[in-house]
Amino acid sequence: MPRKQTGNQAEARKAFGALLQWHLKRGTRPNASPGARGTDWSQLEFSGAVRVSGALGERTDRTVRNWCSGSALPSDLRPIEIALFGPEPRDAATDRNADFRQMLRLAFQRAKSGDGWFKPTAAVSNGWLRSCRFGDGFG
């Protein structure tokens, strides 16, 4: 029997979903500059990029939609990171998406553990994102 979600866990899952949705709407892609807006991802296109498929093997956007709404979490964050930011460089100092990657990892960890609500407020090092609060930056 699945564990009942706590209020914090539900909020943390919604926060992860909102952050993922923000990246999809913003068009975050591996070869784009971190400060530049790219071409929006459709949920179907993103499901193909992370290799999500339905019970019959067809490409489906339902899973991505569930992630973005907070009603489900991915079992593994790596395919999402690769689709959005590319593979992690061997030298962390050269990862131009390190701040975004870390925010997504933290949101995912908190959503899985139910350890509070993820609300990034610190400026990221590239300077274009000064303060993120839901309602004025992610949703």
What pLDDT digit, counting tens, does each position of 65-104 carry? 999 999 999 999 999 999 999 998 887 778 888 889 999 9
What are the pLDDT digits (tens) for 25-73?
999 999 888 778 899 999 999 999 998 766 666 668 899 999 999 999 9
To the nearest 10°, the Cα dihedral for 67, 69, 72, 77? 30
Q: What is the pTM of this model?
A: 0.77
Residue 131 domain-assigned (yes or no): no
Which CATH number belongs to the domain containing residue 63 in this structure? 1.10.260
β-bridge partners, 59: 53
Q: What kind and span of H or E run contains 49? A: helix 43-49
Of residues 94, 100, 89, the one with CA closest to residue 27: 100
Residue 70 domain-assigned (yes or no): yes
In this predicted structure, the answer to whether residue 124 has a pLDDT above a threshold of 50 is: no
Residue 43 domain-assigned (yes or no): yes
Residue 119 domain-assigned (yes or no): no
In this predicted structure, the answer to whether residue 129 has a pLDDT above a threshold of 90 is: no
Report yes or no: 8 and 115 within 8 Å, Cβ to Cβ: yes
pLDDT of residue 72: 92
Residue 91 domain-assigned (yes or no): yes
The pLDDT of 10-36, averaged and rounded, is: 90
Residue 55 domain-assigned (yes or no): yes
Residue 134 domain-assigned (yes or no): no
Residue 101 domain-assigned (yes or no): yes
127 pLDDT band, cuts 50/70/90, is very low
Query: What residues make up the domain containing 66?
Result: 7-113
The count of structural domains within the chain is 1
Q: How many CB atoms lie within 10 A of CB 21?
A: 20
pLDDT of residue 5: 53
Rounded to whole angstroms, how far apart are CA atoms 69 and 82?
Answer: 21
Question: Where does residue 139 rank: exposed (0-12), middle (13-18), buried (19+ CB within 10 A)?
Answer: middle
